[in-house]
């Protein structure tokens, strides 16, 4: 059985020049906000360095100009317990991204399962693994069939489905911030979603409520001999939420700026596939 935040490896991908003009945006998201590609790459470099500094083995794929959103690798696969489910992204323009991801995960020795059902849609950004169970956000990018396939692949864990509206993905406002701690935004939609999750689960989780939904997208790492590590958005971006993160005791807190990719709906978790490889 896996655990929340227990990772040894990370897969990341570079930012293409095509991102600024070609990346997908939710309607009404980032309007009038142009992505500064150079700044985005520097923010991404520091993000990747933060993962390396925590002793993760990082595999970095080059950007592919044919896929403006390719930096958001999280959406292309779900990895747990040595098995990689190759996703079928909800946006048709992104489905070609999975080819390179499938190859590198296979080369790393993971058991590959492909989602071939053409009626299925699943983005990794809608998949929250708590270490004990999966929650799948049913969103504009992930559907019922995609959730059913995930449940069939990861039979050792309960899989619960929750509706997502007002955000791109479930993890746009809800991620793990500790072994049994869920970071959740304070919007009505976020709080309602968490309530539904708690009602469906046999497990009890603590919650860290953050004033800003975007700030609830953070990266928790539980690294042997290094303790609790949390990558979170900076105080310059979300001062009130940064104060809440600062209340966490016995954590190494690493502020990571994500201003540019946020303009095209990117969060911190979006930019990596994290997994534990024991062999």
Scored b (16 or more CB within 10 A) or e, 169-201 reads bbbbbbbbbbbebbbbbbbebbeebbeebeeee
User: What Å distances lie between residue 214 and 67, 208, 267, CA to CA?
Assistant: 24, 13, 7
Query: Is residue 228 annotated as part of the catalytic site, yes or no?
Result: no
Residue 85 and residue 117 in contact, taking contact as beta carbons nearer than 8 Å: no
The residue annotated as part of the active site, out of 70, 218, 270, 271, is 270
Q: Choose, from 9, 70, 80, 169, the residue flagged as catalytic.
A: 169
Both ends of the chain: CA-CA distance in Å? 15
Q: Which is nearest to 252 in space by CA: 53, 59, 3, 56?
A: 53
Active-site residue, 80 included? no
Please, where are the H alpha helices in the chain?
A: 19-22, 37-53, 98-107, 144-153, 188-200, 239-245, 259-262
Are 73 and 272 in contact by the 8 Å Cβ rule? The answer is yes
- Cα torsion through 235, 206, 202, 169, rounded to 10: -10
The DSSP symbol for 171 reads G
As a residue count, the chain comes to 279
163 pairs with which residues across the strands? 138
Report the catalytic residues: 169, 270
């Amino acid at each position: 059985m896996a655990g929340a935040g227990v990772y040894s490896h990370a897969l990341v991908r570079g930012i293409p020049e095509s991102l600024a003009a070609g990346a997908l945006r939710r309607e009404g998201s980032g309007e009038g906000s142009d992505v500064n590609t150079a700044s985005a790459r520097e923010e991404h470099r520091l993000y990747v360095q933060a993962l390396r500094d925590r002793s993760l083995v990082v595999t970095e794929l080059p950007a592919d100009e044919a896929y403006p959103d390719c930096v958001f690798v999280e959406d292309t696969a779900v990895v747990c317990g040595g098995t990689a489910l190759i996703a079928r992204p909800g946006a048709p323009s992104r489905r070609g991204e999975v080819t390179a991801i499938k190859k590198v995960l296979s080369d790393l020795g993971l058991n590959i399962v492909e989602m071939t059902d053409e009626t299925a849609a699943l983005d990794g950004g809608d998949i929250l693994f708590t270490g004990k169970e999966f929650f799948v956000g049913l969103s504009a990018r992930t559907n019922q069939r995609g959730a059913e396939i995930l449940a069939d692949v990861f039979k050792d864990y309960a899989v619960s489905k929750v509706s997502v509206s007002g955000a791109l993905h479930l993890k746009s406002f809800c991620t793990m911030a500790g072994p049994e701690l869920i970071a959740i935004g304070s919007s009505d939609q976020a709080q309602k979603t968490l309530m539904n999750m708690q009602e469906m689960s046999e497990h009890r989780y603590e919650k860290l409520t953050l004033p800003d939904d975007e700030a609830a997208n953070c990266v928790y790492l539980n690294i042997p001999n290094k303790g609790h590590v949390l990558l979170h958005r900076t105080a310059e971006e979300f001062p009130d939420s940064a104060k809440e993160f600062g209340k966490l005791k016995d954590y190494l807190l690493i502020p990571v700026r994500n201003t540019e990719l946020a303009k095209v709906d990117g969060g911190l978790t979006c930019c990596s596939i994290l997994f534990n490889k024991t062999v």
